């Protein structure tokens, strides 16, 4: 290949890779599969290695990071990076709005720009002649740290500006925004840390901060940080800002290539701010990233300039905070819970404390390593975090307030339920009870799982009831459930004749199931509902699955070496074979309709991804999901450019809007039923 055409290929690769980032992060519309991105990326690296003189500070290859020596140098901000005043309730917001009305002399309603208050780190990005030349942290507002190499690894941050419609961008532009980590990435990071027995990050903010302020930007590159722009600093020449509203400036930033939160809205009345706050608070847990409030900014730049600043915050903006997700309380004791797989989890017993509107009296301490790392002792003052639907956790200890009579947390060496030995596999962070189904705790959890909604779905068999049945030794194995009779059940406390009969009927009904549900109900390690469905689709029958080798198992979608080994070992274990025999043979056996093993005809929806949203009338979303999956389709939780279609029931919300924005086909429930019946 001639040097000329190699150079052209390099230019094309750089452009395509950055375009892809723009499509992905700014337009939310991925244009090529990740694997293709990776391929082009490697090709770019290859060319640059071959021709080192073509290396450029703006090349997407810089996004892998590099090791810096020494420390992060200081940067002075040309325009100080200020902070925001807070409002802690609706009255404080109204008072703020009134002050703004008075100061501006505007009598009618004011126009506001409402934005989520992202919980990450403020950064400043400087572009000269359209090229990213510097990234800095906020620091004390006047001086920050130079994190140029680190911000370049964040794919949401453009390395060069896109020209606007007039083909222009400013000679010098400073963009401000928040670097943050999505909840999914945060959880992945901590799951990995938990499994490796390394330090957990207390919250997404700390994870983002710890990842960004790294001397070795290769570490930053691995952390999948994200970015939203929310303001401009210096813009030269200023004529490129032919708009007089903050909202319009954010749109301008989007056009130059910066992602701006889709939740950003222009509001035309003061009252609308309250509605916006309530709406976002209600949706807080459903957002893919953590926010700690909303920010209202006066939309008219002229009015912003008129009001100016007081101390270190603008008079024209306010952050209305959400209830905190972290609180301090006292650790009264630690109990050890035994899970379905024998995993022993230390559970903190706390002085009850309200966190984000819910009273918390228990929180997880994860495992022995985490107790050691936190250095926590019984009696300590501890920080509790409760966010979204994740169980509350102890994330910190206030060592200064440790009482004199504090005591160490002793991790048990024998199971607190069955007294079997506790074992810790080398290289794993979890400790497990070795009692298996001999252990009452494991048996209870196994049976709860067996009867749960996504497994055999036994109506009316709640956790408390399972515990009673196991404690009385009426149920040792799942198959024992089907031997229960109404007379016996009616003798239990708080169980009438009628409910006993209902339960017996529900048990009988649950015996008719599907192969996928049955597999899931067995509680094989790492086999969730989706994997169970894939296994059922692929093998068609239990016998074929039980006979499969590890290699054959690995042929199945989403089944790797580890899952294949778990499945294989499970079916080799004589005790498990016995349980399966008890369940599938005899008069009260579990049964399911035969399905043909996977072939092109039976899995006609393979390769399609659907999203279900809103309320369906003829079936539940879970039922629809199950039927779609049985036909080979994937059912995703969020809409993206890769979504085949969205089925929208009544009162569909943001997912429907998203689909409209992305031009993803939208179908009605009637169309869903037609598809499922076809
Ligand atoms: S504007 C002069 N907008 O909140 C106004 N800040 O308490 C400066 N933050 O350090 C900030 N989301 O890290 C603004 N949509 C948003 C924000 C936001 C998060 C953070 C930012 C800042 C802190 C101020």
Does 590 score more than 80 pLDDT? Answer: yes
- Residue 351: the pLDDT is 97
Mean pLDDT of 210-231: 91
Q: How far is the CA of 627 from the centre of ligand 1 (A)?
A: 45
Of ligand 1's listed atoms, the one at least distance from the Cα of 261 is: 15
The answer to whether 144 and 74 have CB atoms below 8 angstroms apart is: yes
Q: How far is the CA of 81 from the centre of ligand 1 (A)?
A: 9
Identify the residue whose C-alpha is closest to ligand 1 atom 9: 117
Q: What are phi and psi for residue 416, nearest 5 degrees?
A: -65, -15
pTM: 0.74
Q: How far apart are CA 489 and CA 501, in angstroms?
A: 8
- Residue 294: the pLDDT is 98
Q: Which residues line ligand 1 (CB under 6 A)?
A: 82-84, 115, 117-118, 122, 138, 178, 230-231, 295, 314, 317, 319
Mean pLDDT of 512-516: 95
Residue 650 DSSP label: B
Mean pLDDT of 289-318: 94
Q: How far is the CA of 294 from the centre of ligand 1 (A)?
A: 10
Q: Which of 169-178, 327-336, 470-479, 636-645 has the lowest mean pLDDT?
A: 636-645
Does 597 score more than 80 pLDDT? Answer: no
- Residue 318: the pLDDT is 97
Q: 87, 177, 181, 230: which to mutate for ligand 1, most atoms within 8 A of CB?
A: 230
Residue 31 DSSP label: -
- What residues does 265 pair with on adjacent strands? 114
Q: How far is the CA of 649 from the centre of ligand 1 (A)?
A: 37
More confident residue, 30 or 182: 182
Share of the chain above pLDDT 90, in %: 69
Q: How far apart are CA 495 and CA 474, in angstroms?
A: 16
Q: Which of 18-22, 23-27, 99-103 has the lowest mean pLDDT?
A: 23-27
pLDDT tens readout for residues 628-663: 888 878 888 888 888 899 999 988 888 898 888 888
Identify the residue whose C-alpha is closest to ligand 1 atom 18: 117
Mean pLDDT of 252-281: 96
Identify the residue whose C-alpha is closest to ligand 1 atom 16: 117
Does 346 score more than 90 pLDDT? Answer: yes
Would you put residue 540 in left (φ > 0), alpha (ψ -120 to 50) or beta? Answer: left
Q: Which of 34-43, 117-126, 134-143, 491-500 has the lowest mean pLDDT?
A: 34-43
- Secondary structure element (H or E) that encloses residue 40, with its range: helix 34-50
Band (pLDDT 50/70/90 cuts) for residue 600 is: very low
Mean pLDDT of 136-145: 92
Q: Which of 159-173, 313-327, 457-471 has the lowest mean pLDDT?
A: 159-173
Share of the chain above pLDDT 70, in %: 99
Mean pLDDT of 101-125: 95
Identify the residue whose C-alpha is closest to ligand 1 atom 12: 117
Q: What is the sign of the dihedral through the CA atoms of 248, 654, 274 and 385? A: negative
Mean pLDDT of 245-254: 94
Does 243 score more than 90 pLDDT? Answer: no
- Looking at the annotation, which residues are catalytic? 117
Which residue from 153, 121, 158 is spatially nearest to 137, judged by alpha carbons? 121
- Residue 598: the pLDDT is 67
pLDDT tens readout for residues 193-208: 888 888 888 899 999 9
- Residue 651: the pLDDT is 87
Secondary structure (DSSP) of 353-399: EEETTEEEEEEE--SHHHHHHHT--BT-EEEEE--TTSPPEEEEE-G
pLDDT tens readout for residues 535-584: 999 999 999 999 999 999 998 988 999 999 999 999 988 888 999 999 99
402-416, 567-581, 615-629: range with highest mean pLDDT: 402-416
- Residue 427: the pLDDT is 80
Helices 669-677 & 621-630, crossing angle to 10 degrees?
40
Q: What is the sign of the dihedral through the CA atoms of 463, 464, 467 and 468? A: negative
Q: What is the Cα 627 distance to its own chain's centre?
A: 25
Identify the residue whose C-alpha is closest to ligand 1 atom 21: 122
Q: 122, 234, 289: which to mutate for ligand 1, most atoms within 8 A of CB?
A: 122
Mean pLDDT of 72-92: 91
Band (pLDDT 50/70/90 cuts) for residue 242 is: low
Q: How far is the CA of 61 from the centre of ligand 1 (A)?
A: 30
CA atoms within 13 A on the CB side of 630: 18
């Amino acid at each position: 290949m001639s040097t000329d055409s190699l150079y052209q290929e390099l230019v094309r690769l750089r452009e395509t890779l950055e375009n892809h980032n723009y499509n992905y992060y700014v337009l939310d519309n991925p244009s090529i599969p990740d694997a293709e991105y990776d391929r082009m990326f490697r090709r770019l690296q290859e060319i640059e290695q071959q021709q080192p003189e073509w290396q450029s500070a703006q090349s997407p290859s810089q996004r892998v990071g590099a090791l810096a020596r020494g420390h992060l140098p200081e940067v002075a901000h040309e325009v100080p990076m200020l902070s925001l005043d807070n409002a802690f309730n609706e009255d404080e917001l109204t008072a703020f709005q009134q002050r703004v009305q008075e100061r501006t002399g505007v009598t009618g309603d004011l126009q506001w720009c409402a934005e989520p208050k992202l919980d990450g780190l403020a950064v400043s990005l400087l572009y000269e002649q359209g090229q990213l030349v510097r990234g800095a942290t906020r620091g004390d507002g006047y001086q920050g740290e130079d994190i140029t190499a680190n911000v370049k690894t964040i794919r949401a941050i453009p390395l060069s500006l896109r020209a606007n419609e007039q083909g222009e961008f400013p000679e010098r532009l400073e963009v401000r925004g928040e670097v943050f980590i999505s909840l999914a990435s945060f959880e992945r990071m901590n799951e990995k840390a938990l499994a490796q027995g390394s330090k957990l990050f207390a919250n997404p903010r700390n994870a983002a901060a710890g990842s960004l302020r790294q001397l070795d930007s290769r570490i930053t590159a691995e952390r999948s940080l994200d970015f939203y722009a929310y303001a401009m600093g210096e813009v030269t020449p200023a004529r490129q800002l032919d708009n007089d509203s903050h909202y319009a400036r954010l749109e301008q930033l989007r056009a130059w290539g910066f992602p701006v939160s889709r939740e950003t809205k222009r509001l035309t009345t003061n009252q609308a701010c309250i509605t916006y706050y309530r709406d976002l608070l209600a949706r807080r847990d459903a957002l893919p990233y953590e926010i700690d409030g909303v920010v209202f900014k006066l939309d008219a730049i002229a009015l912003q300039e008129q009001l100016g600043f007081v101390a270190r915050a603008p008079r024209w903006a306010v952050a209305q905070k959400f209830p905190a997700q972290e609180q301090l309380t006292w650790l009264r004791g630690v109990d050890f819970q035994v899970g379905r797989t024998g995993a022993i989890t230390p559970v903190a017993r706390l002085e009850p404390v309200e966190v984000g509107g819910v009273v918390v009296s228990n929180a997880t301490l994860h495992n022995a390593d985490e107790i050691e790392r936190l250095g926590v002792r019984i009696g300590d003052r501890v920080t509790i975090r409760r966010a979204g639907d994740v169980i509350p956790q102890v994330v910190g200890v206030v060592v200064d307030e440790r009482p004199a009579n504090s005591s160490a947390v002793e991790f048990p060496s024998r199971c607190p339920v069955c007294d079997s030995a506790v074992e810790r596999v080398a290289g794993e962070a979890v400790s497990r009870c070795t009692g298996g189904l001999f252990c009452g705790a494991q048996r209870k959890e196994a049976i709860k799982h067996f009867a749960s909604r996504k497994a055999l779905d036994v109506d009316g068999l709640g956790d408390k009831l399972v515990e009673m049945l196991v404690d009385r030794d009426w149920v040792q194995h799942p198959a024992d459930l089907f031997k229960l009779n109404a007379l016996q059940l009616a003798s239990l406390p708080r169980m009438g004749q009628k409910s006993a009969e209902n339960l017996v009927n529900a048990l009988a009904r649950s015996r008719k199931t599907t192969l996928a549900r049955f597999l899931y109900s067995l509680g094989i390690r790492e086999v969730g509902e989706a994997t169970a469905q894939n296994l059922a689709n692929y093998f068609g029958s239990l016998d074929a699955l039980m006979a499969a080798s590890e290699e054959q198992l690995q042929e199945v979608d989403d089944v790797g070496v580890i899952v294949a080994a778990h499945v294989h070992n499970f079916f080799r274990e004589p005790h498990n074979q016995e349980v399966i025999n008890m369940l599938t043979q005899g008069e009260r056996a579990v049964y399911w309709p035969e399905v043909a093993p996977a072939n092109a005809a039976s899995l006609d929806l393979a390769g399609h991804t659907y999203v279900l949203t809103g309320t369906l009338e003829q079936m539940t979303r879970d039922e629809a999901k199950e039927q779609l999956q049985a036909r080979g389709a994937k059912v995703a939780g969020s809409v993206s450019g890769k979504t085949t279609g969205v089925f929208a029931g009544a009162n569909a919300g943001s997912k429907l809007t998203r689909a409209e924005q992305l031009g993803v086909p939208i179908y009605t429930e009637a169309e869903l039923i037609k598809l499922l019946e076809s």
